[in-house]
Amino acid sequence: SQTNIFSDEKTNTYSYKASIIKGSQDSLQQIEGSYLGPIIRVKKGDKIRVRYENQIPAESIVHWHGLHISHENDGHPEHVIGRGETYYYEFEVMNKAGTYWFHPHPHGQTGEQVYNGLAGLFIVSDKDEENLNLPQGKYDIPVVIQDRTFDDNHQLSYSGNSRMGQMTGFLGDRIMINGKIDNTLSLSANGKYRLRFLNGSNSRAYKLSWNNGSSITVFGVDGGLLPTPKTLPYLILGPAQRVDVWLDLSEHEENSNFKMVHLPLPMDNAMGGGMMNGGMMGNSNSSALPYNSQFDILNIKVGPVKENEAALPGELVSANYLQSSEAINKKNPRNFTFAMGGMMEWTINGRTYNGTEVAEEETVKLNTTEVWRINNGNQFSSNDDDDGGGMHGNGGMMSGESGMGNMMQMPHPVHIHQLQFNILNRNAEKVDNKLWEATKDGFINEGWQDSIYLLPGMQIDLIMRFEHFKGLFLYHCHNLEHEDMGMMRNFKIV
Ligand code: C2O
Ligand code: CU
Ligand code: CU
């Protein structure tokens, strides 16, 4: 099939517009009244051709988040095009059924462009999924969560370039659902729903919970369905992460209401504590929704009874996870530490993004399986002794680089391009107790994922396989302001 996408500029927002050149019109769906791009629906095995035309007054390129594709199709910043230029993508959809997405990837401007509206869903289906009798059509609903701030003229206003924005990442003061202010979903009593959540926020994570005492049933993550559904009291959803949530409205009466809310997250220490809130960084968005309070995400309005034939099977897909015994470095994982470098610099193993530069430790071999250990914080780097300043803000001035680094420990939502990995281990020994207690039951370690949420002090072991494509791919923090400041590097498959 063939699709035409262009990024368009209107007033101060951007949008992706798309049309089908060849193929089924059903594969393109625009959410009415939304600033988001279209939902593109494809089948595993489809061969796709996309013509991208840049019509915004800045360089851009489209990245297909989560897809297993070649370097040329991955939207690497080295392929950015200017206004009026076009870029052609041609690839076969090799991923499992799941919820993927696309967004811009020019170095230094991803945050602003995504914020202004450039993002869309890319939904893959496959045979395994078709056999499962999951909800379809209007019972299969996207829920893209983003926080935004509006100025006095009701226009989107972006403060991610301010010093505060560069530290914490952009934090908005209201929640948008599917690119709209209206956060109500009108659903039918008795309906069985698949809600495809994407946290499309620039930097904010959510602690999601139903406000009626129900637990959350998750049956899919970034890269596809879970082997078995998982029930959680609440769910931590970091930037770029996707989950499939099962919602059965059988027990719900017509005209009833309930909500999904964000529950308070004690993130203040992690965010530099009093120093940040004291406004020392200047220009802070003081109206931003505070992490540590409850706010509404989504309203569910239950309408008249309608039945749909769908059920959630106890067994969905076979796990077939990568085994650490297959890894060539299982005793000696590759370490990548995400931390603050010098003053106002976000680094990975002490480096920032430098075009197509690849370090020795960032080079891997095709057709191998590896364990990567992802660390959040300087306390993990061997050449930097903990100076006793602790990892939590103490409200004082920093005395040296490592003091600053340890004080300014932020969560880092880490994303790896081109592949889906399995999580082997999540180590929270060095995570603030209060924060861990408030989050520990909300993480999902199962399934195929491409984005993880690392709390300060957290260490996660991933297992991944490099297949089919050689070349340069990115791994980076998906706090888009951190990414834009250089918390992004290449890895090279040779
Ligand atoms: Cu969704 Cu490199 O990003
Ligand atoms: Cu990506
Ligand atoms: Cu980060």
Tell me the per-residue pLDDT of 110-150, one tens digit each, with 9 for 90 and over. Answer: 999 999 999 999 999 999 999 999 999 999 999 999 999 99
Q: Which helix (H) or strand (E) holds 113?
A: helix 110-115
pLDDT per residue as tens digits for the range 429-462: 999 999 999 999 999 999 999 999 999 999 999 9
Q: How far, in Å, from the CA of 173 to the mean position of ligand 3? A: 20
Q: How far, in Å, from the CA of 480 to the mean position of ligand 3? A: 8
What is the ipTM score, two decimals?
0.99
Q: Is residue 318 part of a domain?
A: no
pTM of the prediction?
Answer: 0.93
Q: How many CA atoms lie less than 13 Å away from 292 in the CB half-sphere?
A: 10
Report the pLDDT value the prediction gives residue 26, as an integer from 0 to 100.
87
Report the pLDDT value the prediction gives residue 407, as an integer from 0 to 100.
56
Q: How far, in Å, from the CA of 84 to the mean position of ligand 3? A: 32
Report the pLDDT value the prediction gives residue 358, as an integer from 0 to 100.
98
Q: Is residue 314 part of a domain?
A: no
Question: Which positions ≥6 away from 394 have C-beta within 8 Å?
Answer: 273, 407
Q: Of the candidates 102, 127, 152, which is a domain's last residue?
A: 127
Mode of pairing for the β-strands spanning 488-493 and 422-427 = unpaired
Report the pLDDT value the prediction gives residue 342, as an integer from 0 to 100.
77
Ligand 1 pocket, 489 CB below 6 A?
no
**CATH number, residue 233:** 2.60.40.420
Q: How far, in Å, from the CA of 65 to the mean position of ligand 1? A: 5
Mode of pairing for the β-strands spanning 368-376 and 334-340 = parallel
Do residues 211 and 278 both lie within one domain?
yes
- Give yes or no for residue 75 having a pLDDT over 80: yes
Report the pLDDT value the prediction gives residue 285, as an integer from 0 to 100.
63
- Give yes or no for residue 485 having a pLDDT over 80: yes
Region 103-108: mean pLDDT is 98
Closest ligand, as measured to the CA of 450: 2
Ligand 1 pocket, 63 CB below 6 A?
yes
Report the pLDDT value the prediction gives residue 271, as an integer from 0 to 100.
64
Q: How far, in Å, from the CA of 40 to the mean position of ligand 1? A: 17
**Burial per residue of 464-488, b for 16 or more beta-carbon CB atoms within 10 angstroms, e otherwise:** bbbeebebbbbbbbbbbbbbbbbbb
Report the pLDDT value the prediction gives residue 257, as an integer from 0 to 100.
97
Q: How far, in Å, from the CA of 323 to the mean position of ligand 3? A: 29
Do residues 118 and 153 both lie within one domain?
no
Report the pLDDT value the prediction gives residue 344, as an integer from 0 to 100.
80
Q: Locate the ligand 1 atom nearest the alpha carbon of residue 474 and give its number.
A: 2
Q: Which residue in the block uniquely carries the two structure tokens 């191998």?
A: 368
Ligand 1 pocket, 65 CB below 6 A?
yes
Q: How many domains does the chain have?
A: 3
Q: Is residue 63 part of a domain?
A: yes
Do residues 230 and 288 both lie within one domain?
yes
Domain that holds residue 200: 137-305
pLDDT per residue as tens digits for the range 243-298: 999 999 998 999 999 999 999 999 876 665 444 444 444 334 678 999 999 999 99
Ligand 1 pocket, 107 CB below 6 A?
no
Question: What sections of 324-422 are H helices per DSSP?
Answer: 401-407
Q: Of the candidates 81, 101, 127, which is a domain's last residue?
A: 127
Q: Of the candidates 305, 340, 357, which is a domain's last residue?
A: 305
Ligand 1 pocket, 482 CB below 6 A?
no
pLDDT per residue as tens digits for the range 340-374: 987 789 999 999 999 999 999 999 999 999 999 99
Q: Locate the ligand 1 atom nearest the alpha carbon of residue 75 and give its number.
A: 2
Q: Locate the ligand 1 atom nearest the alpha carbon of residue 483 and give its number.
A: 2
pLDDT per residue as tens digits for the range 34-44: 999 999 999 99
Q: Is residue 132 part of a domain?
A: no
- Give yes or no for residue 332 having a pLDDT over 80: yes
Q: Locate the ligand 1 atom nearest the alpha carbon of residue 488 and give its number.
A: 2
Report the pLDDT value the prediction gives residue 380, as an integer from 0 to 100.
81
What's the N-to-C CA distance of the chain in angstroms?
31
Ligand 1 pocket, 76 CB below 6 A?
no
Report the pLDDT value the prediction gives residue 378, as an integer from 0 to 100.
82
Q: Is residue 312 part of a domain?
A: no
Q: Locate the ligand 1 atom nearest the alpha carbon of residue 66 and give its number.
A: 1
Question: Which positions ≥6 away from 332 have C-beta within 8 Å?
Answer: none
Assign 490 a pLDDT band (cuts: 50, 70, 90): very high
Ligand 1 pocket, 476 CB below 6 A?
yes
Tokens matching residue 143: 């829920």
Q: Which protein residue's CA is at the shortest distance from atom 3 of ligand 1? A: 65
Q: How far, in Å, from the CA of 387 to the mean position of ligand 2? A: 35
pLDDT per residue as tens digits for the range 395-409: 333 333 444 445 568
Which of 488 and 281 is assigned the larger pLDDT?
488
The beta strand positions in 306-444, using DSSP E, are 334-340, 346-348, 363-364, 368-376, 412-416, 422-427
Rg (CA), the chain: 21
Share of the chain above pLDDT 70, in %: 91
pLDDT per residue as tens digits for the range 146-185: 999 999 999 999 999 999 899 999 999 999 999 999 999 9
pLDDT per residue as tens digits for the range 182-232: 999 999 999 999 999 999 999 999 999 999 999 999 999 999 999 999 999
